[in-house]
Copies of this chain bind each other. A is one copy, B any other.
Amino acid sequence: MALIVDIRNSVVPIASEISNAYIDFSKMTASVVALVSDVVRDGKPLVGYGFNSNGRYAPKGLLDERFIPRLREADLGGEIDPVRAWDIMMSNEKPGGHGERSVAVGVLDMALWDLAAKIADVPLYQLIADKWRGGEIDEKIFVYAAGGYYYPGKGVEELQAEMQSYRDRGYRVCKIKIGNGLEEDIPRIEAAMEVVGGGQNLMVDVNGRFDLETAIAYAEAIKGYDLFWYEEVGDPLDYALQAELSKVYPNAMATGENLFSHQDGRNLLRYAGMRPDKDWIQMDCALSYGLVEYKRFIDLLPDYGFSPRNCIPHGGHQMSLNIAAGLGLGGNESYPDVFAPFGGFSDGTKVEDSLVGLHQCAGVGFEEKSALIQTMREATETA
């Protein structure tokens, strides 16, 4: 028997000076929730934590208005079952319109899985693997360093220094933002390639800004570099643009971080001309109704010729790292220098050749990342 006896909801800033081609992050926030259980271990109640991934704002109002009250009133039958909790949280919600509430549910879903794994006294990736993959775990996960943002006053030299610092920290593959125009971006791309060891170690990310004409002009300009991927080139819902672009761009592309339901993901698979032998899907469970919904998407992949290996989630958080290990995804994003303390790995974890190992404590692994668990405890203790 396990009951949730208290739910705490707080907001912390994750603002920074960075910007991509679409937004700046100076007012970015994240929700942090704590689910306090009546299960006592080592003299303390077990607490499940969850937060939302970067790029979308803290859904505090939605959590307070609808999703936390439903979870409070829910009868989970004395078991912390995220699948059953999901149905309760989404009761009396109409279909379609997948945004914002998908973030709120994602925050609570993360906390539910953290708590469930803590009660089972296993790392979450083990719980996931036991439930859905016959216990098989990937011990090493591919990660890449996401950075290369536009900062005020940042030039090519600073970009190269940033890339070098990722390489020095064990990242083989690194990502930079593009989209401000070929005149500015081609020198940036070539400078970054110099440092990371060629195009196969470099990703470029447009953040959804291009129309088809610009997308193709960039494709022509960069296709000779054989980049790791060309990311989110057009509007996330413009599947036709993606499909047209895949006809002229021969190398790998990636998209999906702004699709927040399995229905949206299915439309990507149906209509966007994505190629199972090379393209990547970046849906982020922490923005899209959590792991319960993400698993529905994963289960659709074979129908369209894809597998979990095609998936490298957006967000750089430990939740997706657990899913990558437990479901056998293609890897996970990592933000070595931004969105702290929400991204990253257990303290002292080494990245080697863009591969990272796993935490050993129960749950998502927050307790092995001291800055993060401290932030979440402080935010929710007074909430």
Contact = CB atoms under 8 A, between A and B. Distances in A.
B61 A27 contact: no
B260 A92 contact: no
Contact of A100 (B99, B238, B270): B99
Given A57-B65, A96-B258, A102-B97, A263 B237 contact: yes
Interface centre among A56, A96, A102 (most CB of B within 10 A): A96
Interface string A47-61: 000000001111111
A172 to B, nearest CB: 28
Size category of the binding interface on chain A: 35 or more
Nearest to A90: B23
Contact of A208 (B62, B96, B100): B96
6 contacts: A23-B91, A55-B94, A94-B208, A97-B100, A98-B99, A237-B261
A64 to B, nearest CB: 7
A245 to B, nearest CB: 16
A266 B240 CA distance: 10
A-B pairs with lowest CB-CB distance, top 6: A61-B61, A96-B258, A97-B99, A100-B100, A96-B236, A99-B99
A61 B24 CA distance: 22
A102 to B, nearest CB: 7
Interface string A336-363: 0000000000000000000000000000
Given A57-B65, A60-B65, A66-B57, A237 B23 contact: no
Interface string A241-271: 0000000000000000011110110110011
Interface in A133-192: none
A112 to B, nearest CB: 21
A131 to B, nearest CB: 25
B94 A56 contact: yes
Interface centre among A56, A93, A97, A267 (most CB of B within 10 A): A97
A66 to B, nearest CB: 6
Interface centre among A61, A65, A66, A258 (most CB of B within 10 A): A61
Nearest to A61: B61
